[in-house]
Structure 1
């Protein structure tokens, strides 16, 4: 179960990093740039710990899928970005895919 804790920390760090990357204005703003870089370092560190026990494809599918949804939520609430119905439907399919992997795949390592 620790492996999924590491994956969760990797996802949170990546969401923080990506959210600050948008605020870094092409690396012209020091504060957001440093947060983004630190966030990605932390994200890749915890992802590397996850990959000790979780197959790469499964870990990456969960990381990227959950990350997409969370980054979109942060962008909605923090940056005022709006999503249309097709974008929301697509994210629903991403969430469904992550659930299928975790609930039904023997590859997920449960």
Structure 2
């Protein structure tokens, strides 16, 4: 069997990290504050913070700090992150067409 491309493996590892897909999907809607994302997503603040740091380190998410009082921090997708939009949309399309209600219900058991 031929070995998979290391770049492909890296990309799949990143995208398959729990909650990354939902975070990217949320940021495709535009720039968000941490508190907005925390209320949009079913994820703890600590885990959201960890995932955002990971995505920032990978160059997928940009963190903008505004020196106001109180300090305002906003997150958005970088160009690298925006390039994932068709991938996220295709995964959503595939899920809409192929993931059944029964499959969703058995995941929680």
> TM-score by structure 1 length?
0.29
The answer to which structure, 1 or 2, has the higher relative contact order (CA under 8 A, 6+ apart) is: 1
> TM-score by structure 2 length?
0.29
